[in-house]
């Protein structure tokens, strides 16, 4: 089973990270899910693949009633992001799933219909969690052509999807980045191959540099906190990505 760890709690608002399943098969990429709860309602980011649904679902049950989850947020269309959708809908058919407008007719191949999927316009949009406001922030082409992130201005947390992802070895499996220089070696290859566009990368770096972010929470790897957030953005801005780094 995965572990549930509260990473932010203030009043009625909490963020819980679901991560690090010691029983996970090595052939599926490790993922982080985040549950944001305000009052009695929750939203779950990038719920993961059908392969890991039982591990995610049981970890969530240790912290909240899973029926409090009213919606899912899918940063993009990948199987490690949202192929569990059909299983989530078996559990609660009234769930809604926010995703880029580009993917609203592709993701139903994993389950759901035109009522389930809520298309986010290219420029992003506010998403309500009860009385609490979250914002879908565009990060297109990083790596998906329709790619969204989720910002919480109160908690100062940006859920960044695949941006910031690192493929950690078993002996560097911490939840928060401890040693940036060591950690970033595990992120370099991923960003060079999966992030195809220098223009999109620089556009994103400029957008998020002006935002107030205390934690940058990726879908793979560890969380960047405090000064490591700007360190990551600056590192990414300088990193050669895409075709210029591609070797056959």
What residue ranges bind Fe ion (CB under 5 A)?
78, 80, 162, 219
Q: CB 10 → Fe ion: shortest distance, Å?
A: 28
Backbone phi, then psi, for 77, in 5-degree steps?
A: -100, 0
Nearest to 224 by CA among 136, 163, 143: 163
Please say whether the beta carbons of 224 and 51 come within 8 A: no
Report the residue number, 152 or 162, with the smaller CB distance to Fe ion.
Answer: 162
| Closest residue to Fe ion using C-beta atoms | 78
Q: CB 40 → Fe ion: shortest distance, Å?
A: 30
Please say whether the beta carbons of 73 and 46 come within 8 A: yes
Report the residue number, 31 or 104, with the smaller CB distance to Fe ion.
Answer: 31
- Rounded Cα distance between 166 and 155, Å, is 23
Report the residue number, 36 or 81, with the smaller CB distance to Fe ion.
Answer: 81
Report the residue number, 112 or 146, with the smaller CB distance to Fe ion.
Answer: 146
- Rounded Cα distance between 161 and 46, Å, is 8
- Rounded Cα distance between 38 and 124, Å, is 21
Q: CB 115 → Fe ion: shortest distance, Å?
A: 25
Q: CB 132 → Fe ion: shortest distance, Å?
A: 26
Q: CB 143 → Fe ion: shortest distance, Å?
A: 6
Q: CB 13 → Fe ion: shortest distance, Å?
A: 26
Q: Strand pairing partners for 149?
A: 137
Report the residue number, 38 or 236, with the smaller CB distance to Fe ion.
Answer: 236
The CA angle 49-156-63, to the nearest 5 degrees, is 50
Please say whether the beta carbons of 225 and 215 come within 8 A: yes
Report the residue number, 160 or 219, with the smaller CB distance to Fe ion.
Answer: 219
Report the residue number, 162 or 228, with the smaller CB distance to Fe ion.
Answer: 162
User: Which residues are CB-contacts of 223 (< 8 A; sequence separation ≥ 6)?
Assistant: 7, 17, 175, 176, 177, 215, 216, 217
Q: CB 221 → Fe ion: shortest distance, Å?
A: 10
- Rounded Cα distance between 233 and 35, Å, is 24
């Amino acid at each position: 089973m995965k572990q549930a760890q509260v990473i932010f709690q203030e009043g009625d608002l909490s963020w819980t990270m679901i991560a690090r399943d010691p029983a996970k098969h090595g052939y599926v990429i490790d993922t982080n899910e985040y549950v944001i709860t305000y009052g009695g309602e929750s939203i779950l980011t990038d719920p993961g693949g059908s392969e890991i649904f039982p591990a995610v679902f049981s970890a969530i049950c240790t912290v909240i009633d899973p029926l409090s989850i009213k919606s899912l947020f899918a940063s993009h269309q990948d199987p490690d992001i949202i192929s569990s959708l059909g299983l989530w809908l078996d559990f609660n058919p009234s769930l809604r799933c926010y995703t880029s407008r580009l993917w609203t007719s592709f993701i139903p191949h994993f389950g759901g219909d035109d009522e389930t999927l809520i298309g986010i316009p290219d420029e992003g949009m506010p998403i309500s969690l009860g009385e609490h406001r979250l914002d879908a922030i565009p990060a297109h082409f990083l790596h998906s052509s329709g790619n969204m992130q989720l910002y919480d201005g109160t908690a100062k947390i940006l859920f960044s999807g695949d941006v910031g992802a690192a493929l950690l070895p078993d002996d560097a499996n911490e939840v928060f980045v401890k040693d940036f220089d060591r950690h970033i070696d595990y992120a370099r290859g991923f960003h060079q191959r999966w992030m195809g566009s220098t223009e999109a990368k620089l556009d994103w770096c400029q957008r998020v540099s002006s935002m107030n972010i205390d934690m940058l929470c990726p879908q793979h790897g560890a969380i960047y906190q405090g000064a490591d957030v700007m360190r990551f953005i600056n590192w990414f801005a300088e990193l050669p990505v895409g075709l210029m780094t591609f070797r056959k």
